Structure 1
Amino acid sequence: MWFLKAAQEENPVGELNLAMMYETGLGVEQDYEMAAAWYRQSAMKGEAQAQYNLGMLYDNGYGVELNATEAVSWYRKAAEQGMPDAQYNLAISYQEGEGVPKDIKQALKWYTQAAEQDYGKASYNLGTLYYNGDGVKQNYTKAKEWFQRSCEDEELEGCSIYLDLEGAGY
């Protein structure tokens, strides 16, 4: 009730919270279309979490038509505000060429920004780029550093099996 009242008052945080309730079905019947509508209201006001969540809906086709280009547009808005989840998803979009032309340099930029905020999956992907020399000069030392940093992220499971670069002679 209070989130609805705040949203009706055009409060971006209220709109975000109401959208999350609709997305998850918490306290209301799950409705992705309503979630998208409220995320959009909040996102248009600059709320980074709403921008990211709206991007996710477009990336998955929940409540909106599947649209990688639109997803990237929303990820970029949130990424530019420093949100590591959005930076990571934007990096993947550039690495895979989904919604944007494939651009490994842009992927590297956004992975780095997320990894510098201790976002483990971004650190791991950076390690992979350095290990393979994909878009950067191959550098096993940097690869190992990024792999090790990825292991500091408690959300990553099985991280301790990262490449043993010293054992491989690097």
Structure 2
Amino acid sequence: MTEVRLARWSADDLALLRQLNAPEVRAHTGGPETDEQVVARHERYLRGPGARSGHMFTVGLPDGTKVGSVGYWEREWRGEPVYEMGWAVLPAYQGRGLASAAVRALVAEAAAHGDRRHAHAYPSVDHPASNAVCRKAGFALLGETEFEYPPGHLMRSNDWRVELTGKG
């Protein structure tokens, strides 16, 4: 099984976030952000849990190389308090199972430290790789839905859900 290490987001991770802002990484999430938006996102990640920030982590290889990000944040979905999960992996490291391993580790983190019964992910129906990550990480496909991301833009997404054992 692919090994990854999650580490809390730190002040040193702005360069990684800028790399993850590449067009090929952001193609299914509204495209690249401006540098001002990336810096603001980094500052929200540093503040930690709260409005629009959540619990953010870097994805690292055993040798310490940072290859992506994962996180979860609170939201309400169809009347239930849940976590939403998201992730990104640098193009040079995609296709190696790293995102699936990171999301499995993130599910374990949310189950151990969170207070929600379920976590959801909403990848675009047109993004086979992210949908495969959900399947490989143990999420159940609930069906297609309209999802707003980025704010002001509706996209056709799959609604994937995973149980966070023993919560709620």
User: TM-score w.r.t. structure 2 length?
Assistant: 0.29
Q: Which of 1 and 2 has higher RCO (CA within 8 Å, sep 6+)? A: 2
* Higher gyration radius (CA): 1
Task: Specify which structure has the higher proportion of helix.
Answer: 1
Task: Specify which structure has the higher proportion of strand.
Answer: 2
